């Protein structure tokens, strides 16, 4: 039977990691992999996580099953950070733990499909796994262009997509720090998007994978809070893998707002059934560690300080690039206004190849760079190489 399977294309980023690892040049730069790096090029475990893990080891007295909803203490402790004051919207918002943001996206899309969504609209380019998940869940995907050439979000396009879509269709939006472009909607854009969703009845799914890496925990929540304040129903997919540095531990959450408390309960009975049939229960350890942090004011302060250090470093790298103006044919100034780990450079596959072969600079074939791969000691080399290759 297995002869019926066709080999799938290898993951391009994993191939890039291997190539980078095999490169013996000492001044090589990795802009491919999507993890935060310090100015020394490391991706350390957060100090707050270390403390919480220690406490977990010391105090955990059972590893008996929880349930498909996971650690509800974790789910609820996160809610004020995501939803602000009145996080439950009077009993109309709740959530459950998922294996990473990926699990949350998968659950949200499958649930939207089961609830009757016939089509899902996705701005592109997007995180490549969005398209794979949508395809695997079996929902028809319609793409639209997310950004304009000037490096800002294409508001007119998303509004016309939402207007035309209507109640039997869903739209998937990135909450902040868009992957891969770094291009977010402004607060005014979100207002207009929320109004369009209300008047068309299109179902919003908001994917929040980088809260706190843009301008701050509160600032990065403006979009989703604006939408939630106006709409009757929405799904929110949340990842803690970046803002708690828990990548391999796989922790995230799925939240929903429903029109009534009864509908919310029904929604989660369905979400629980889907989780049971997929992963049964999410991994406990990372969510328990985050719950411990969020219930302890001192550990929370340590975590927020660490997040601020990350955010300030990302902003400094972005400012340094923007201040450089242009490098060859590439205008770097929009990167200063963009957010999070990623940016797309307007380079060709030939430029990407030349940067790799001639300058030991590794980036995705799409021109996506992880700005956290740049440090104050390699950024000049990067700008010079970019100028040489594209000039």
Among 94, 97, 179, 390, binds ligand PMP (CB under 6 A): 179
Q: Which is nearer to ligand PMP, 264 or 293 (CB)?
A: 293
Alpha helix (H) residue ranges in the chain: 12-22, 47-59, 72-83, 100-114, 128-137, 155-165, 187-200, 222-230, 261-278, 284-294, 297-323, 349-359, 379-390
Restricted to residues 119-148, the positions that interact with ligand PMP (CB under 6 A) are: 127
Contact assessment for residue 376 and residue 221, using Cβ atoms and an 8 Å cutoff: no
Beta bridge partners of 122: 143, 172
Whether 190 is a known active-site residue: answer: no
The verdict on 106 binding ligand PMP (CB under 6 A) reads no
In whole angstroms, the minimum distance from the beta carbon of 179 to ligand PMP comes to: 4
The DSSP call for residue 25 is -
Q: Which is nearer to ligand PMP, 238 or 378 (CB)?
A: 238
The DSSP result for 52-74, as a single string, is HHHHHHHH--------TT--HHH
Catalytic residue among 113, 154, 242, 284: 242
Restricted to residues 218-237, the positions that interact with ligand PMP (CB under 6 A) are: none
Nearest to 356 by CA among 10, 22, 125, 39: 22
The verdict on 292 binding ligand PMP (CB under 6 A) reads no
Distance CA(90)–CA(198), nearest Å, equals 19
Catalytic residue among 71, 127, 184, 257: 127
The verdict on 243 binding ligand PMP (CB under 6 A) reads no
Among 252, 282, 286, 373, binds ligand PMP (CB under 6 A): 252
Q: Which residue has the tokens 């000492």?
A: 26
Distance CA(291)–CA(281), nearest Å, equals 17
Whether 303 is a known active-site residue: answer: no
Distance CA(19)–CA(38), nearest Å, equals 22
Judge residue 186's burial from the number of C-beta atoms within 10 Å of its C-beta, 0-12 exposed, 13-18 middle, 19 or more buried: middle
Q: Which is nearer to ligand PMP, 179 or 390 (CB)?
A: 179
Among 241, 249, 284, 306, binds ligand PMP (CB under 6 A): 241
The verdict on 206 binding ligand PMP (CB under 6 A) reads no
Contact segment (CB under 6 A) with ligand PMP among 72-80, 94-102, 157-165, 346-354 equals: 94-102
Nearest to 190 by CA among 169, 165, 220, 167: 220
How many residues in the shown chain lie near ligand PMP by CB under 6 A? Answer: 13
Whether 63 is a known active-site residue: answer: no
Residue nearest ligand PMP, Cβ-based = 100
Among 102, 176, 338, 378, binds ligand PMP (CB under 6 A): 102
Tokens linked to 350: 């030939």
Please work out, in degrees rounded to the nearest 5, the angle formed at the alpha carbon of residue 174 by the alpha carbons of 173 and 177: 160
In whole angstroms, the minimum distance from the beta carbon of 181 to ligand PMP comes to: 11
In whole angstroms, the minimum distance from the beta carbon of 385 to ligand PMP comes to: 26
Restricted to residues 25-44, the positions that interact with ligand PMP (CB under 6 A) are: 34
Q: Which residues are catalytic?
A: 127, 207, 242
- Site residues, ligand PMP (CB under 6 A): 34, 100-102, 105, 127, 174, 179, 207, 209, 239, 241, 252
């Amino acid at each position: 039977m297995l002869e019926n399977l066709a080999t799938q294309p290898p993951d391009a980023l994993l191939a890039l990691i291997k190539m980078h690892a095999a490169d013996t040049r000492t001044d090589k730069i990795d802009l491919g992999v999507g993890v935060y790096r310090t100015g020394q090029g490391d991706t350390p475990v957060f100090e707050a996580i270390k403390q919480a893990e220690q406490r977990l080891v010391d105090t955990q007295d059972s590893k008996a099953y929880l349930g498909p909803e996971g650690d509800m203490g974790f789910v609820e402790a996160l809610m004020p950070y995501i939803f602000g004051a009145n996080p439950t919207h009077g009993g109309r918002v709740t959530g459950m733990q998922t294996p990473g943001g990926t699990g949350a996206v998968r659950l949200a899309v499958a649930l939207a499909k089961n609830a009757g969504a016939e089509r899902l609209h996705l701005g592109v380019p997007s995180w490549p796994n969005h398209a794979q998940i949508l395809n695997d869940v079996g929902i028809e995907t319609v793409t639209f262009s997310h950004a304009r050439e000037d490096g800002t979000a294409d508001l007119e396009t998303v509004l016309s997509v939402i207007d035309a879509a209507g109640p039997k269709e869903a739209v998937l939006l990135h909450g902040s720090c868009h992957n891969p472009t770094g291009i977010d909607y402004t607060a005014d854009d979100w207002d207009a998007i929320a109004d369009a969703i209300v008047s068309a009845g299109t179902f919003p799914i908001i994917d929040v994978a980088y809260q706190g890496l843009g301008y701050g925990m509160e600032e990065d929540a403006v979009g989703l809070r604006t939408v939630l304040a106006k709409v009757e129903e929405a799904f929110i997919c949340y990842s803690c893998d970046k803002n708690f540095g828990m990548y391999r531990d796989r922790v995230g959450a799925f939240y929903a707002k429903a029109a009534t408390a009864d509908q919310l309960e029904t929604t989660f009975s369905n979400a629980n059934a889907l989780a049971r049939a997929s992963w049964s229960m999410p991994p406990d350890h990372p969510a328990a560690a985050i719950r411990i942090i969020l219930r302890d004011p001192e550990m929370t302060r340590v975590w927020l300080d660490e997040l601020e250090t990350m955010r300030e470093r990302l902003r400094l790298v972005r400012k340094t690039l923007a201040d450089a103006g242009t490098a060859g044919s590439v205008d770097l100034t929009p990167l200063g206004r963009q957010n999070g780990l990623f940016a797309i450079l307007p380079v060709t596959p030939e430029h990407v190849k030349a940067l790799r072969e001639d300058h030991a600079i590794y980036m995705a074939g799409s021109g996506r760079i992880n700005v956290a791969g740049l440090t104050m000691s390699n950024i000049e080399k990067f700008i010079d190489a970019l100028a040489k290759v594209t000039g």
